């Protein structure tokens, strides 16, 4: 027994050179694959860094700027040296955002923010609002259509009035403002339109029929508009974020039009709005056309939806059934 142990101890260890050869071969295989992506990433970063300085002094109009992602973008573009015009329904909240901006210790030269009240559901007033916004600095360089509302209800339990309101604010309000601002951009042969859509504009989820429909429409409008103005100096970016840590679900509507008033778990654990705002700024600076800002789960769902739709529909069907059971259990508990 002792002899066997001695023989084991005397056995030579695996040569480290074998592992070195393995890593060398692995490197030869992976490096050619990785290099194009590394070069593209470096090119993108240099491009963003180069054109970021050109943002200074640009006039940026942001709707839905009183809270959430809109507020985060207000900070991001203000600190980049832009002349921000902040628009939303709640003028008192805009005053708060303005006060916060003026208190910032920004490294770049900054300009006093301008706040304006707008209700995207009042389509007849949007042209006048657009004219007033243009008169502030005599131009709008970047329009960010961010204002919107969400809904938490099944398709059948949603009143048609709720469907209309969500579509009115999220879709018609944004395109009405775009049409109010676009002529001045076309005249100057320069400008950038940014639509804040959602991953749910790319693939729909249960209990989001009205919201998903409005974002689907916004995505299609952006794609069509982009092709029409491609040779007229106008850039169009459509951003589709996943869940963001904002009050979107709390302020969402129910099927009857009342306030949902609850924070969804997915929203509470979502991305920080400041990080999303920075990514949007980079997308605009880099003239990106269609941007999805989401986790791997959402991106996986997007590709499955179009590459293997039957599997996607099975997954979403199961999700809908689970949500239905959870809602029934909650209602029973409340009784």
Q: Is residue 307 part of a domain?
A: no
- Contact between 85 and 113 under an 8 Å Cβ cutoff? The reply is yes
φ/ψ (deg, to 5) at 80: -85, 0
Residue 34 in tokens: 């990785």
The closest of 212, 119, 210 to 173, measured between CA atoms, is 119
Q: Is the pLDDT of residue 281 over 70?
A: yes
Q: Which of 100-109, 129-138, 321-330 has the lowest mean pLDDT?
A: 321-330
Q: Is residue 6 part of a domain?
A: no
More confident residue, 18 or 137: 137
105-to-40, 83, 101, 253 alpha-carbon distances in Å: 34, 16, 9, 37
Instruction: Indicate the pTM of the whole model.
Output: 0.82
Range of the domain at 176: 41-294
User: 8 pLDDT band (50/70/90 cuts)?
Assistant: very low
Q: Is the pLDDT of residue 193 over 50?
A: yes
Alpha-carbon distance 133 to 171, whole Å? 20
* Residue 97 confidence (pLDDT): 96
Alpha-carbon distance 202 to 218, whole Å? 10
- Contact between 264 and 250 under an 8 Å Cβ cutoff? The reply is no
Q: Is residue 107 part of a domain?
A: yes
Q: Is residue 3 part of a domain?
A: no
* Residue 7 confidence (pLDDT): 47
pLDDT (mean) for 107-129 = 92
Average pLDDT, the chain: 86
User: 20 pLDDT band (50/70/90 cuts)?
Assistant: low
Residue 43 in tokens: 């090119």
Residues 6 or more apart whose CB falls under 8 angstroms from that of 142 comprise 58, 59, 60, 61, 77, 82, 191, 192, 193, 194, 284
The closest of 123, 313, 109 to 205, measured between CA atoms, is 313
Alpha-carbon distance 177 to 217, whole Å? 15
Residue 331 in tokens: 């209602």
CATH of the domain at 186: 3.40.50.720
Q: Is residue 18 part of a domain?
A: no
Query: What domain count does the chain have?
Result: 1
Q: Is the pLDDT of residue 76 over 80?
A: yes
Alpha helices in the chain (DSSP H): 2-10, 16-52, 68-79, 91-102, 123-137, 160-167, 173-188, 209-228, 265-268, 273-285, 296-307, 309-334
Is 260 a catalytic site residue? no
Classify the phi-psi angles of 84: left when phi > 0, otherwise alpha if psi is within -120 to 50, otherwise beta.
beta
Percentage of residues in the chain with pLDDT exceeding 70?
Answer: 82
More confident residue, 257 or 207: 207
* Residue 6 confidence (pLDDT): 46
What is the dihedral sign for C-alpha 145, 147, 151, 157?
negative
Q: Which of 64-68, 73-77, 202-206 has the lowest mean pLDDT?
A: 202-206
pLDDT (mean) for 218-230 = 96
Q: Is residue 8 part of a domain?
A: no
- Contact between 177 and 130 under an 8 Å Cβ cutoff? The reply is yes
* Residue 258 confidence (pLDDT): 84
Q: Is residue 282 part of a domain?
A: yes
Catalytic residue among 211, 243, 302, 312: 211
Count of CB atoms within 10 A of residue 285's CB?
20
Residues 6 or more apart whose CB falls under 8 angstroms from that of 97 comprise 65, 66, 71, 74, 86, 113, 115
Q: What is the DSSP string of 119-168?
A: -TT-HHHHHHHHHHHHHHHS--SEEEE-----B-B-TTTS-HHHHHHHHI
Place of tokens 């991106």: 299
- Contact between 52 and 284 under an 8 Å Cβ cutoff? The reply is no
Question: 10-30 burial, b if ≥16 CB within 10 A, otherwise e?
Answer: eeeeeeeeeeeeeeeeeeeee
The residues pairing with 236 across neighbouring beta strands, listed in sequence order, are: 193
């Amino acid at each position: 027994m002792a002899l066997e142990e001695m023989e084991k101890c005397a056995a030579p260890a695996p040569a480290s050179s074998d592992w070195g050869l393995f890593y060398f071969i692995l490197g030869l295989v992976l490096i050619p694959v990785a290099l194009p992506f590394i070069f593209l990433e470096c090119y993108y970063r240099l491009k963003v860094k180069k054109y970021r300085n050109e943002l200074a002094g640009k006039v940026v109009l942001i709707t839905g700027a009183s809270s959430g992602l809109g507020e985060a973008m207000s900070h991001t573009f203000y600190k980049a040296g832009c002349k921000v015009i902040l628009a939303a329904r709640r003028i008192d909240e805009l005053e708060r955002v303005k006060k916060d901006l003026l208190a910032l210790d920004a490294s770049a030269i900054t300009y006093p923010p301008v706040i304006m009240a707008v209700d995207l559901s009042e389509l007849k007033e949007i042209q006048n609002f657009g004219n007033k916004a243009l008169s502030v600095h005599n131009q709008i360089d970047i329009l960010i259509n961010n204002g919107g509302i969400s809904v938490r209800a099944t398709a059948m339990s949603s009143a048609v009035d709720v469907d209309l309101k969500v579509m009115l604010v999220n879709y018609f309000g944004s395109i009405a403002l775009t049409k109010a601002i676009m002529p001045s951009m076309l005249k100057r042969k320069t400008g950038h339109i940014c639509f804040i859509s959602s991953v749910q504009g790319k693939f729909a989820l249960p209990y989001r029929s009205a919201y998903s429909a409005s974002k689907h429409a916004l995505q299609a409008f952006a794609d069509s508009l982009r092709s029409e103005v491609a040779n007229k100096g106008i850039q169009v970016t459509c951003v589709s974020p996943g869940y963001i840590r904002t009050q979107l679900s709390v302020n969402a509507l129910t099927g009857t039009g009342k306030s949902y008033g609850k924070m969804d778990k997915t929203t509470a654990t979502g991305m920080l709005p400041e990080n999303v705002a920075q990514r949007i700024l980079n997308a605009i600076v880099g003239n990106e056309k269609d941007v999805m800002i989401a986790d791997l789960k959402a991106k996986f769902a997007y590709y499955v939806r179009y590459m293997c739709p039957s599997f996607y529909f099975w997954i979403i069907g199961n999700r809908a059934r689970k949500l239905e059971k959870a809602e029934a259990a909650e209602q029973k508990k409340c009784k």
